[in-house]
A and B are shown apart, each in its own frame.
Chain A
Amino acid sequence: MPESTQDTNLPYAIRAYSAERLRDALKKMYLVRKFEEGAEDSYMRGLIHGTMHLSIGQEASAIGSTMGLTDEDKITSTHRGHGHCVGKGADLGKMFAEFFGKETGYCKGRGGSMHIADPSKGNLGANGIVGGGLPIAVGAALSAKRLGTGAVTVCFFGDGANNEGAFHEALNMAAVWKLPVVFVCENNKYGMSTSTERSTAVKNIAERAAAYAMPGVTVDGNDFSAVTEAVDAAVARARAGDGPSLVENVTYRWRGHSKSDRNRYRTKDEINEWMGRDPIPAMAKLLMDHHIVTEDDVAAIEAEAEGIIKDAIEFATSGPDPKVEEVIRDVYTPEATA
């Protein structure tokens, strides 16, 4: 949760969070980047099978949106969810172990990249189904309200997901029942190859909020402070019992949609332009400008993240494989089938 408030001329994040929290946020952004670079490298070397969806370029959205959450708060995530996991405090070793299909992974090797979850930290999981998490987030918010836990649910989804029926049904119920949920759209301009211009009737996804009588804002999703300001306000509103909001973080994925993307639907210039708006150096600059870190500190934080990733890969590769005999173990709850 945001901690302090001082000079209103300062950017929101600088006002709201301690130096320690901000340094930690920068570290997490590096962790997401280096986790995904490590995953990509492992994939190229044939150590990982399947596919993966990298969020490189979108780190400010993931880490900024989870900044104000506690372990009691919930998130639902997407196929592009590594950043959300890290934001919610996931262990990088267990994430890599899942990638490598190990018994020591978050899903014991059953789920892979698209299903990483950590219910102990309020992370209800990535999802292989576009839009699958939207009504689930509303359900988590219903629980919080009925059980009086005070928890808020942040529901991540992409611009593409806003054209699924589940999006519209979920937002409507959340609004009708005034539930403590924040819908965070990570608008990276494309659902796979299809641009929002070609798929979506409104210009900004946030305009959809009006149809469900909730506030909707569009922010620069590569600006950490702008993201935290918008999401924290929506979380505060949800906590106060005033119902759901929609926040749209406009951002960009640098990599292809998945490992099979020929990038034929967008230009090199567009990709390069967005690569020039890297959210991580922008965050480092924000912290340096406000004397929270020095250039040396930034280098040290980056090196620390690199070390964590190295250890995580080591933990993951040395872990045991799941046992084939146990494959159906978790289909049902043991007590129920006994």
Chain B
Amino acid sequence: MNAQNKPELRELSYAEAIREAMDIALEDDPSVLLMGEDIGVYGGAFQVTGDLVDKYGTDRVLDTPISELGGAGVAVGAALTGLKPIFEFQFSDFAALAMEQIVNQAAKVRFMLGGSVSVPLVMRFPAGSGTGAAAQHSQSIEAWLGHVPGLKVVQPSTPEDAKGLLLAAVADPDPVMIFEHKILYKMKGHVPEGYYTTPIGKAAVRRAGKDVTIVATSIMVHKAMETAEKLSADGIDAEVIDLRTVRPMDRDTVLDSVRKTGRLVCVYEGVKTLGVGAEISAMVAESDAFDFLDAPIVRLGGAECPIPYNPELEKAVVPQVPDISAAVRDVVQGRV
């Protein structure tokens, strides 16, 4: 995130970082294959797979028909029997068509079979609002999948983590669901060369601070960082935690921070009610960190409605910097 200070560091976009991770995985392991709609010659709806088909051919960069349920199920079956599919949904919203295979099959088969099999499956979900694509192409549904034991759910917010978490997901024997924010695809940042992994289940402290903890996910990490910089001018010192993994959640990093700052604001794009912030809040409320709280916990999440088309409405239904700023001020200044 601080690549600007070190110009010698190599920068890639978030999309390029994901592509590089897939390239490394395909290169290193012949059992890896990419599956999805229009990921071959088209390069993917968001140009994430790009030209990988030219390097690996149509057998390993496999365009599926428009068949999300079947395609996901084929990926589950292949994962059960020796392949390691990386399955791209064109939009995360279309996971709704494949929930059967994701939730009833991929997530549960190992458990149901008494641990005798594994499902080394990676699914990639372009998610989030901000593109004007309206209600069926803009959702943030990580909490749906985060509710399912058997799945691991990650939300990289930087190019470096997008690559590292994807490579960690490929190395993981269990199904890992990766939510990629569409607005981040073009974001540039430092990405180390070669193979490395970012640990699943580990949050990152993006900015240390003493007055308030902001736990954010995905694109909200950047909005939280911007807010923190603004507030620091007014003497409010916010700590920003990038949750990175929704399931399993990094309890220690969050609780340690809350014990230090005594205040918690959760910021996420998914619908506020029953969302990721509810779990973070409950985690704190159920622990000794609760005793350190000097103010009520505040959650900022998506409005209780589908994502609207009109650009002003679209902006209004997800937290923006002024909303975060106001909430953090209120928490710090005892107005909650």
Contact = CB atoms under 8 A, between A and B. Distances in A.
B131 interface: yes
B310 interface: yes
Interface residues of B, number: 37
B285 interface: no
A128 to B, nearest CB: 3
Contact of B308 (A109, A164, A199): A109
A331 B305 contact: yes
Contacts of A199: 63, 65-66
B65 A110 contact: no
A194 B308 contact: no
A101 B134 CA distance: 11
Contacts of B25: none
B313 interface: yes
Contact of B41 (A131, A164, A200, A265): A265
A216 interface: no
Interface in B290-328: 303-306, 308-313, 316-317
Interface string A84-106: 00000000000000100110000
A115 B135 contact: yes
B122 to A, nearest CB: 22
A130 B305 CA distance: 22
A328 B306 CA distance: 8
B38 interface: yes
A164 B67 contact: yes
Contacts, number: 131
Contacts of B67: 163-165
Nearest to A196: B65
A109 B309 contact: yes
A327 B317 CA distance: 8
A326 B66 CA distance: 36
A130 B316 CA distance: 28
Contacts of B66: 130-131, 160-161, 163-164, 191-192, 194, 199
Nearest to B309: A112
Given A164-B97, A331-B306, A49 B37 contact: no
A111 B40 contact: no
Given A101-B311, A109-B309, A112-B309, A165 B70 contact: yes
A331 B304 contact: yes
A128 B45 contact: no
Contacts of A322: 308, 310, 312-313
Contacts of A164: 66-69, 97
Contacts of B316: 324, 327
A265 to B, nearest CB: 5
Given A110-B135, A327-B305, 6 more contacts: A110-B308, A112-B134, A164-B67, A191-B37, A193-B42, A331-B305
